[in-house]
Amino acid sequence: MIVDYVVWIILLPLISFTIQIFFGKRLPRQGDWLPTSVMFVDLLLALIVAGKVFSAYDPDFRIARSFEWVVLGTTTIKFGLLIDNLTAVMLFIVTLVSSLVHLFSIGYMHGDPRYSRYFAYLSLFSFSMLGLVSVDNFLGIYMFWELVGVSSFLLIGFWFEKHSASNAAKKAFLVNRVGDVGMFIGILLIFAITHTFNFDEVFGKIASGEFAGALLTAAGILIFCGAVGKSAQFPLHVWLPDAMEGPTPVSALIHAATMVAAGVYLVGRTFVLYTETALLIIAGIGTITAFIAATIAVVQMDIKKVLAYSTISQLGYMIAALGVGGYNAGLFHLMTHAFFKALLFLGAGSVIHAMHHEQDMRQMGGLRHKLPITFVTFLIATMAISGVPGLSGFFSKDAILAAALGKAMETGTLYHYLIFATLIFTAGLTAFYMFRALFLTFYGTPRNQEKYDHAHESPSTMTIPLIALALFTVIGGYGSWFEELIRKPSLAMFSTGAAQEAAHAAAEGAAHGAHTIAMVLSILFAFAGIFIAALYYYWNKYSAEAVSEKFAALYRFLWNKWYFDELYQATAVRGTLLLSRAMGWFDLKVIDGIVNGTARMTTLLSFGSGTTDNRVVDGLVNWVARIVGWFGATLREIQTGKVQAYILMALGAFILLYVIQLAMV
Amino acid sequence: MMAVGLHHFLVLSALLFVLGLLAVITKKNAVTVLMGIELILNAANINFIAFSRYVDTDLDGQLFALFVIITAAAAAAVALAIVLNIYKQMRSVNLDEADTLAG
């Protein structure tokens, strides 16, 4: 019953994509109502599914249904759906954000020459993303993984006439590919060992100890590679800021709320795959990402770039949370982040729309009077991401920090304390750069009077999604249902009778002890960040320019995004080009040389063979002929034609034979 | 007195053979050559009969001699017909001139 609903949730956007891509232009209003209404139906269905799943109120709730997809001898590959509490939450998040983004896009994309295709792509993305969160096996998740990658590529490069957009699309695709290859190898490794793609069966093998040790660690890290690419984690984070070339609602849907969170979802879904070593790496990567991205966001001037780096930073938070074992905290942050980051992006989209596609914050200022609804919703989201108490972001971020501190207290290692310290410092940075963006955009005096004068509040199709998301941003963190329903999967779930529950319970206990300290610290850092931002950008007590001049080297370092692009340009890109050139040289000289050599050899051989044929074979034939001719010429002499001569010869021969006969006797 | 034995016959037959052969080889006239052939055949006949008398006591040899005589007659008829045809063609029975098959 629930499965049927989920199947329809996944298939409806696919149907609307098919209709939209072929007939979109011929439909009234270019068909924008079709994908949009389909997404709202999907949202309704997702709510029904969530209602049915949550009404059981069972953390171990699971429905898995699959069919035999491919049968290869003794190997059967099954394909199916897995619906548990996490899937239900993800379905709800994706359909909610997607439907609101559809609605928002009607206003934002109005008048675009490829209006209908835009909605088709959005539908394709929704289909892929919904499939991704519902499938029950690695192969399926990889397929949908690539499908969201393709939709992302299409939507980043949607305005492909702009060179930067098509380049960004390419970059996103290629950088993702690096991670995806790792993930693919990981999946193959898992299949090679367990002979199945199915999540539950793989986890069962791990629980029974059939799949363990270094290979398990390697498989975990390889699967995590996919998450590094898709969730823009260090060192593959470089594609996400460039992806902001796409339309802003796309940034909200794909590059903030849902697709980039797929990496976090993947790690969450396959959580039992990760050994302690793998988790250490995951936590480290997440923390580094969170910190680097936050420092870059501090100096960005493009409002979307600030949000992009903020997204990377927050994704780093989620990954780090999973890495330190804060399973629930990481996924909780995924949900709240989806709400407030989608809201921030849509708010930024509303601002950009009002400013006639101006994204530079230096051209903004004072917009709160012109865009009151956008301002209020943006403010709510900013407070949420900064961790102001009472909003959803506060609860989830606090949970992450508590998990990190709990882990540090439990293990007592410097590594985990460093992770906690970095994360809490990053929390302060987050509050600072988000309020900096808020003050620069909405407060102060207009810095570009002409654009300011033309600015106007967006139409209701754009403000309604903002209000809806603001509502979820406020209430998203309340209640203990998430904590109670999304429980860290333990190996015990997948085996019969193994008792490993105790260890996890102990870790949970430590996290509770750390909660108060983490909460106090996080509030402290958040308000410190806000206060400093206000000093510089609201009260203008100090000049940001003066600081940037004083620390010019650091400023340049951050402004150039830690020189990651330059580094990759110099190493990966140049290396690839050099390798290609070397390959080209090899191809031209060696391969072609071999081919040409073969050709020359063949002509030489043919020539030799021809000569042999002409001289030796023909010579032999001619020679035989000549010998026969000579014999003929010689022997014709005795053919006198005279009978008596012949008789004489016969007589001579007879006598000869007789003599021989005598001699022999 | 010496009794007449096998050897006498053989020598006679050999002499006769050689004489026939000599005629066949040396004579130019085709008719004379045919006569030589008759001599050779009769030399063989003497041999047949002598061997029949002294070596093998049945009548096989003598019967063979009869056959030879008959075949010799037939052969002579054919040969003379050929000679007549040659004469018609060449106005001569000289064997030296009948060399149109010479290589």
SS (H, E, C) A361-408: HHHCCCCCCCCHHHHHHHHHHHHHHHCCCCCHHHHHHHHHHHHHHHHH
> Is the backbone of residue A365 left (phi > 0), alpha (psi -120 to 50) or beta?
left
Closest to A136 (Cα-Cα) out of A239, A63, A206, A185:
A63
From residue A59, give the alpha-carbon distance in Å to each of A213, A481, A529: 29, 10, 37
Work out the average pLDDT over A388-400. Answer: 87
* Residue of B83, B99, B100 to mutate, testing the A interface (most A Cβ within 10 Å of its Cβ): B99
Q: Rounded distance, CA B14 to CA A20, Å?
A: 125
Contacts of B21 in chain A (CB under 8 A): 647, 651
Contacts of A644 in chain B (CB under 8 A): 24-26, 33, 95
Lowest mean pLDDT, pick from A113-122, A550-559, A597-606: A550-559
Task: Please check the confidence at residue A480 and state whether its pLDDT lies above 80.
Answer: no
* Residue of B22, B24, B100 to mutate, testing the A interface (most A Cβ within 10 Å of its Cβ): B24
For residue A663, the distance in angstroms to the closest alpha carbon of chain B comes to: 22
Query: Which among B25, B33, B100 is the nearest to A641, CB-wise?
Result: B100
Q: What is the pLDDT of residues A39-58, one digit of tens each?
A: 999 999 999 998 888 888 87
Q: Is residue A371 a contact partner of residue A351, using CB atoms and an 8 Å limit? A: yes
For residue B1, the distance in angstroms to the closest alpha carbon of chain A comes to: 33
Work out the average pLDDT over A239-262. Answer: 87
Contacts of A640 in chain B (CB under 8 A): 99, 102-103
Q: What is the pLDDT of residue A499?
A: 42
User: Model's pTM, two decimal places?
Assistant: 0.75
Q: What is the pLDDT of residues A526-543, one digit of tens each?
A: 888 888 888 888 887 777
Q: What is the pLDDT of residue A543?
A: 78
Q: And the tokens for A80? A: 């199916």
Task: Please check the confidence at residue A502 and state whether its pLDDT lies above 50.
Answer: no
Q: Is B35 part of the contact surface with chain A (CB cutoff 8 Å)? A: no
- Pairwise CB contact (< 8 Å): A644 & B24: yes
Q: What is the pLDDT of residue A500?
A: 44
Q: Rounded distance, CA B37 to CA B19, Å?
A: 10
Q: What is the pLDDT of residue A657?
A: 95
Task: Please check the confidence at residue A507 and state whether its pLDDT lies above 60.
Answer: no
Query: Which among A636, A642, A648 is the nearest to B95, CB-wise?
Result: A642
Q: In the structure, what pLDDT confidence band is assigned to residue A513 with cuts at 50, 70 and 90?
A: low
Residue A290 burial (10 A CB sphere; 0-12, 13-18, 19+): buried
Query: Which among B33, B100, B103 is the nearest to A636, CB-wise?
Result: B103
For residue A633, the distance in angstroms to the closest alpha carbon of chain B comes to: 9
Q: What is the pLDDT of residue A98?
A: 92
Work out the average pLDDT over A591-612. Answer: 93
Q: In the structure, what pLDDT confidence band is assigned to residue B1 with cuts at 50, 70 and 90?
A: low
Lowest mean pLDDT, pick from A153-162, A220-229, A567-576, A588-597: A567-576
Q: Is residue A529 a contact partner of residue A427, using CB atoms and an 8 Å limit? A: yes
Query: Which among A636, A641, A644 is the nearest to B25, CB-wise?
Result: A644
Q: What is the pLDDT of residues A80-92, one digit of tens each?
A: 888 888 898 999 9
Question: What radius of gyration, in Å, describes the C-alpha atoms of chain B?
Answer: 17
Question: What radius of gyration, in Å, describes the C-alpha atoms of chain A?
Answer: 37
Work out the average pLDDT over B17-43. Answer: 90
Q: Is residue A65 a contact partner of residue A3, using CB atoms and an 8 Å limit? A: yes
Burial A157-192 (b: 16+ CB within 10 A, else e): bbbeeeeebbebbebbbebbebbbebbbbbbebbbe
Contacts of A658 in chain B (CB under 8 A): none
Write down the mean pLDDT value for chain A. Answer: 86
For residue B31, the distance in angstroms to the closest alpha carbon of chain A comes to: 13
Query: Which among B26, B33, B99 is the nearest to A641, CB-wise?
Result: B99
For residue A597, the distance in angstroms to the closest alpha carbon of chain B comes to: 59
Helices (H), chain B: 6-26, 30-54, 60-90
Closest to A118 (Cα-Cα) out of A104, A131, A137, A130:
A104
Residue of B nearest to A636 (CA): B103
Q: Rounded distance, CA A282 to CA A264, Å?
A: 11
Q: And the tokens for A164? A: 């930067």
In this structure, what is the dihedral angle of CA atoms A352, A127, A47, A262, given to the nearest 10 degrees?
-70
For residue A619, the distance in angstroms to the closest alpha carbon of chain B comes to: 28
Task: Please check the confidence at residue A495 and state whether its pLDDT lies above 70.
Answer: no
Backbone angles phi, psi at A298, to 5 degrees: -60, -35
Greater pLDDT, A205 or A493: A205
Residue of A nearest to B97 (CA): A642
Query: Which among A640, A647, A651 is the nearest to B102, CB-wise?
Result: A640
* Residue of A634, A642, A649 to mutate, testing the B interface (most B Cβ within 10 Å of its Cβ): A642
Task: Please check the confidence at residue A625 and state whether its pLDDT lies above 90.
Answer: yes
Residues of A with CB under 8 A from a CB of B: 636-637, 639-644, 647-648, 651
For residue A654, the distance in angstroms to the closest alpha carbon of chain B comes to: 13
- Pairwise CB contact (< 8 Å): B102 & A644: no
Type of residue at A135: V
* Residue of B21, B28, B34, B96 to mutate, testing the A interface (most A Cβ within 10 Å of its Cβ): B96
Residue with tokens 């199916």: A80
Closest to A133 (Cα-Cα) out of A46, A218, A252, A255:
A46
- Pairwise CB contact (< 8 Å): B103 & A639: yes
From residue A323, give the alpha-carbon distance in Å to each of A176, A328, A427, A494: 21, 11, 18, 21
Q: What is the pLDDT of residue A510?
A: 54
Q: What is the pLDDT of residue A315?
A: 92
Q: What is the pLDDT of residue A508?
A: 54
Q: For chain B, list the domains and their CATH numbers.
A: 12-90 (1.10.287.3510)
Q: In the structure, what pLDDT confidence band is assigned to residue B46 with cuts at 50, 70 and 90?
A: very high
Q: ω before A35 within 30° of 0 (cis)?
A: no
Q: What is the pLDDT of residue B15?
A: 94
Residue of B nearest to A644 (CA): B25
* Residue of A647, A651, A655, A658 to mutate, testing the B interface (most B Cβ within 10 Å of its Cβ): A647
Q: Rounded distance, CA A460 to CA A465, Å?
A: 9
Contacts of A639 in chain B (CB under 8 A): 101-103
Contacts of A646 in chain B (CB under 8 A): none
- Pairwise CB contact (< 8 Å): A643 & B33: yes
The percentage of residues in chain A with a pLDDT greater than 90, rounded to a whole number, is: 29
Work out the average pLDDT over A114-143. Answer: 91
Q: What is the 3-state secondary structure (H, E, C) of A236-271?
A: CCCHHHHHHHCCHHHHHHHHHHCHHHHHHHHHHHCH
Q: What is the 3-state secondary structure (H, E, C) of A157-181?
A: CCCCCCHHHHHHHHHHHHHHHHHHH
- Pairwise CB contact (< 8 Å): A648 & B101: no
- Name every residue whose Cβ is closer than 8 Å to that of residue A579 and which is 6 or more positions away in sequence: none
Q: And the tokens for A313? A: 């930073």
Task: Count chain A–chain B contacts defined by CB atoms under 8 A.
Answer: 32
Query: Which among A641, A644, A647 is the nearest to B101, CB-wise?
Result: A641
Greater pLDDT, A569 or A629: A629
- Pairwise CB contact (< 8 Å): A642 & B102: yes
Residue of A nearest to B94 (CA): A642
Contacts of A634 in chain B (CB under 8 A): none
Work out the average pLDDT over A116-125. Answer: 91
Number of neighbouring beta carbons within 10 Å of residue B45: 21
DSSP 8-state assignment for residue A613: I
Contacts of A642 in chain B (CB under 8 A): 95-96, 99, 102
- Pairwise CB contact (< 8 Å): B99 & A647: no
Q: How many angstroms from the chain centroid is the CA of residue A257?
A: 14
Q: In the structure, what pLDDT confidence band is assigned to residue A381 with cuts at 50, 70 and 90?
A: very high
- Pairwise CB contact (< 8 Å): A642 & B100: no
